[in-house]
Every structure is written in structure tokens, then in C-alpha cells.
Structure 1
């Protein structure tokens, strides 16, 4: 399943608004991989099945419950049954109401041996933006922070290039490429004049750029949308449009507002071994009225990675973690109700 998850992630930048599913079919002692293609193209399971003459008696590993409805493509669950696959291992259920549990039922009713929960945590992490969108109708919000060891993002004069190193900036470009929309404050546009593009060789489509406030004439961020309104309304609108992931690049005023409102699902922090040691430097986050340790915000560490001389921390909010864990629990409960195999 781990191989299927990694293989599926290679479709992340082309599959939206569909999930980047990975599949591995073991047949005749050989492994055959499939992953979601562009919208309207084959799903991961079909891609894997097409690689064999006969799938009768084979075993399939798939990162998300096979679809059960006719959309742009026929239902994968029915195709798996018709192909004669003997056993299907599913990482997590599909939270889309059109699919949830129905794919599993088609497989089980068709005589397929089904197990739910294989590498569920890793799959949920990989598909977090899709899970959030299909569960709530809103995009997964990533709050990016590039800061010093003492939590500062800019010097007293407003300068901030560069706190982190080249490896962190390259990683951040990949984060942009994985996002559908980038949100930034008007102050950052005026001071830094960023382009906010993903400068990678394999970028298929640049993310849409939204500036909270006015955009100066000739700003490098253009073409971009200027938005003046409620942030939650904006996220709701983006969700209705099928946007799966939003990247918030600040500055500190915008980042603090997203944090204060509890809108960030993922905090992507690039921390440099540099220290300002002055209260006049801009803090990454501010504005909280907390007075004691009882009011401190705590998240769940998802990833720690060294990037050159910097450290990358990926933190999920408790609400986002609860959403992902809840889907995993639902898979186990469904398996128990239907008498299927499951892994906790």
C-alpha cells in the first residue's frame, strides 16, 4: 500500500478536483501500478487493470475506496468485480457522499474479499485536501511561515529576503505547485512585490493568486484577483468551485488572522538557524489575548525534515487531525458491520 500511496501522489498536480489515488495490482507474481489521470481519464484501479490480460484471482491495493457511480467514467468497483479480482485492500473510505461505503458494498456483494484500513494514516495524510473538501465543502488551508529561530519573519525595516535558505525556498515552490490558490495580503504585495508562481520544471498549471486588498498597478503578482470581504466567505466560494488546497503566504497580519479564526488546517513552517533578538522584528503570528499556558494553541506534528541548514515542520491543527482520524474510524466501523477485514 505504501507503494500505491507514493505512486498516486505523482498525479496530484493533474487530477484535481479528483483525488490523486494510487493502485497496485499483484497478479501472476508481478506488480502493476495505476494512478488517477486527468479529469475524464481512467481512475487508478482501471489503469492498473489494463496492464494485465487477466486479473482473475489477483490482489489489489488502492489508497481510496473505489468509486461506485457513473460520472465521467464508469464505476471502478463494478469493473473490479467483473475483472475477477479476488482481494481488495482499501486504505480509507471515500468521504464523497456519492461514494461513501457504496464502493465497498459493491465489492463485498460481488464476492470480493475486502480489507479496510491498510496504511490508513498515511493515505489520509496524502489525501487530506480531498478529504477536507468532500467532508466540509471547503478547501484544505495551508499556512506557510518562513521564520527565524526566535519566530520572526521580517526585520524592523520590513526586509525579509532571505531568512531561510535555497533548499527551503525550493520546497516552498513545490508547496505552491501542489496548491490550487495562493492567498496573500496587500501589504506583502506592496513591500515584497512577489510573483507567487511555482518555479518548477514540471508545473502543469500555476495556482490562482488572490490578494486580500488592493493590488498596485504593475505588481509582479498580476494577473491576480483583488478580494475585499470576509475570509470565510472566500473559502466557501473556493470550495464551491472545487478548489482543494489553498496556500496562505502571509504576511504576518494575514497569517495571524487565519490563525485567530481557526481556518488553518496545516502549518508549514520553515525555520532558519538565525536569530533577530529584537522585539522590533515582525513576529510570524501575533494578536492573541492569551494570558496563561491554558490558552496556548497546540497542534499535531505531521512531519519534520531537514532542508539544507533549515528545518521544515509540518503541523496539523487538532480539528484537521480529528477529521482525518474520524474517517479512519468510520472505515473500521463499516468493516465490522459488514463482516469485512480491517486494520486498526
Structure 2
């Protein structure tokens, strides 16, 4: 199952709207087949692992309950039965109403031994984006903060390149690649004119670039220039003229607004409704504050440099209107790592 989990992680950021599943086929103590969900979500892991082998009497280890419904491909449960597998070990069930125990029942009705729950917590962590989209209609959200030691992302004059070092920036690109989309607010686009692509890592599938901007008052030259390489989605408020952007090749999504800002809950529901399961938010401060205040951040990754910018610098998180310390969003430390001259620290929702 450890191998299956490792294989499934290869699909992170590459298989949405489907889950990133891994599968290993074992007979007589030897691995005879292995697979993971292919880019774009098909073929599924089980059919990949079964391809070209005789699996009669074998055990299949799979990180998510095999599907039981006919979609663009036949059910994976049927594929396992047809391959004459004797036993299926499943890490966790699939809450999708089209599956939700039906895959396990199909296997057992066909006479296969089914064992569930092996390394369940790890599987659910790896599949968190898919599980959240199915159960809560929102993607898994990672908030990335790259800041000075005193929590600033720019000087008083707006200078921000570069606070953290090249090793940290390379790690950020690797993290982008493991998410379906990279999200920023309008302020970040106006200040930095970013491209938000994954660079220098040889990836074949770029994440979607998402900009949340109430009025679309942005000049996104690099984002527009790279539309042929990576999709650009613009999430905007009501009664906004989007013709200019659609003519350039961007997709636009109308969202509810709260005051002058996009409603973060409606934003995430729009992204989930369009298939996204994992979103990597890279700011700015107002967007980060709105997501934190709405309880929509599942993981915070900080890259902290040993520089001090002072109180006049731009804070990494905008105003949240907190009066009581007890109301502050809190996360649990999961990982610390030195990255070049910087410190990477990862925190998860309790």
C-alpha cells in the first residue's frame, strides 16, 4: 500500500477533476503490475496496473475504492473482477454518490475478498482535494507565504524581488506543479505582473492560473501571453464586461461579492464546480485574509527569510478584524525544513 500511495502522489495537480489514485498488483510476493491515474484523469489507476499482465489469483492494493459506475470508461471494479483478482485491499472509501460503497459491494458479490482501511489516514490526506470537492463542494487550499522574518512581503516602496532565495522559489514551483491551480488576487497581478507558471522543472501539464478580481481592473500581460501554455481563469464580481478577456482566451466566472471583494466561499464553489480539487494561493494579503477568515485554508506553507523590513513594509496577511486572540485561525506544525538560506515551515488545519 505504501507503493500505491507513492504512485498516487504522481497524479497530484495532473488528474483533476478525478482523484489521484495509485494501484499495485501483487502475486506470490512479487509486484506484477502497478499504475496511477493518468494525466487528465483517465485511464484510471486500476486499469493502468492491470494492463498487459495475468492477474489471476493476485491481490490488488488500491488507495481509493474502485469506481462502480459507467462513465467515459467502464467501472474499475468490473476490470478487477474480469482480471480474476482474488483479493482487493483498499485504503479508503469513495464518498462520490456514484460509488460510495457500491464498488466494494460489487467486488464482494463477485466473490473477491475485500479488506478496507489499510493506511487510511495517509490516503485521505493525499486525496483531500477530491474528498473536499465531493463532500463540501470546495477544493483543498494551500496558502503560501514568502516573507521576511517579521512577516513582510514588500518594502514600503513595494520592492519585493526577492525576499527569499532561489532554492525557495524553486520549491514553490514544485509545489505549484502538485496543485490543479495557482490563485492570486488583483493586487498581486497589478504589483508583480506574474506568469504563475511552473518553470525549469520540465512539467508537461501546467496548473490553471486563477485571478480573483472584483472589477477585473488589472493589466495581466504575462498571464495573457502565456495562455497558450497554461489556462487563465478570471473570477470576477457582478456586471463586469469580460469580452476583452474572453477574446484573449481567458475563461471568466461570475462570483458573488462581499463589499469590494469576491465572496471567498462562492469563489471556491465556482472552482470546485469546474473540477478543481487543489488550489495553491500565492496572495496577496487581502485574499489571504479573506480565505483565512472564511475558514477555507487547509494548509499554510511559509518561506521565511532572515531579513527584517520593519513595520512600514507590506504585511503578508491583510486586516482580519480580530478582537480576541481566541478568534485567530490556528494551525498545527507539520514540517520544518531549511531551504537554502531560508526556512520552510508547513502548518495544517487541526
TM range, smaller chain: 0.7 to 0.9
Helix, strand or coil for the counterpart of 2:221?
coil
Cα distance in structure 1, aligned partners of 2:57 and 2:324: 61
1:312 paired residue number: 344
Shift of 1:289: 3.9
Helix, strand or coil for the counterpart of 2:123?
helix
Cα distance change of structure 1 residues 197 and 41 upon mapping to structure 2, 3 Å threshold: closer
1:257 paired residue number: 290
Shift of 1:39: 4.7
Residue 308 (structure 2) pairs with residue 275 (structure 1): yes
Decide which moves more: 213-222 or 111-120: 213-222
8 Å Cα contact 1:138-1:238 kept in structure 2: yes
Cα distance in structure 2, aligned partners of 1:293 and 1:210: 31
8 Å Cα contact 2:333-2:348 kept in structure 1: yes
Shift of 1:295: 3.1
Shift of 1:34: 1.0
2:50 paired residue number: 49
Q: Which runs of 5+ in 1 are unaligned?
A: 319-344
The count of aligned residue pairs is 316
Cα distance in structure 1, aligned partners of 2:278 and 2:167: 23
Cα distance change of structure 1 residues 150 and 204 upon mapping to structure 2, 3 Å threshold: same
Residues 169-191 of structure 1: per-residue CA shift (max 9 Å, x gap): 11211222233333222222222
Cα distance change of structure 1 residues 303 and 290 upon mapping to structure 2, 3 Å threshold: same
Q: How does 1:164-179 map to 2 (within 5 A)?
A: 164-179=164-179
Q: How does 1:300-339 map to 2 (within 5 A)?
A: 300-318=332-350
Residue 85 (structure 2) pairs with residue 85 (structure 1): yes
Cα distance change of structure 1 residues 40 and 253 upon mapping to structure 2, 3 Å threshold: closer
Residue 188 (structure 2) pairs with residue 201 (structure 1): no
2:222 paired residue number: 220
Shift of 1:141: 1.9
Cα distance in structure 1, aligned partners of 2:86 and 2:71: 25
Cα distance in structure 2, aligned partners of 1:304 and 1:51: 42
Cα distance in structure 1, aligned partners of 2:70 and 2:272: 22
Cα distance change of structure 1 residues 154 and 221 upon mapping to structure 2, 3 Å threshold: same
Tell me the TM-score normalised to structure 2 length: 0.83
Cα distance change of structure 1 residues 226 and 61 upon mapping to structure 2, 3 Å threshold: closer
Cα distance change of structure 1 residues 218 and 39 upon mapping to structure 2, 3 Å threshold: closer
1:233 paired residue number: 266
Cα distance change of structure 1 residues 137 and 155 upon mapping to structure 2, 3 Å threshold: same
Cα distance change of structure 1 residues 218 and 125 upon mapping to structure 2, 3 Å threshold: closer
Tell me the TM-score normalised to structure 1 length: 0.84
1:147 paired residue number: 147
2:22 paired residue number: 22
2:161 paired residue number: 161
Helix, strand or coil for the counterpart of 2:276?
coil
Cα distance change of structure 1 residues 56 and 240 upon mapping to structure 2, 3 Å threshold: same
8 Å Cα contact 1:181-1:210 kept in structure 2: no
The RMSD of aligned alpha carbons is 2.2
8 Å Cα contact 2:302-2:345 kept in structure 1: yes
8 Å Cα contact 1:189-1:219 kept in structure 2: no
Cα distance in structure 2, aligned partners of 1:231 and 1:61: 38
Helix, strand or coil for the counterpart of 1:196?
coil
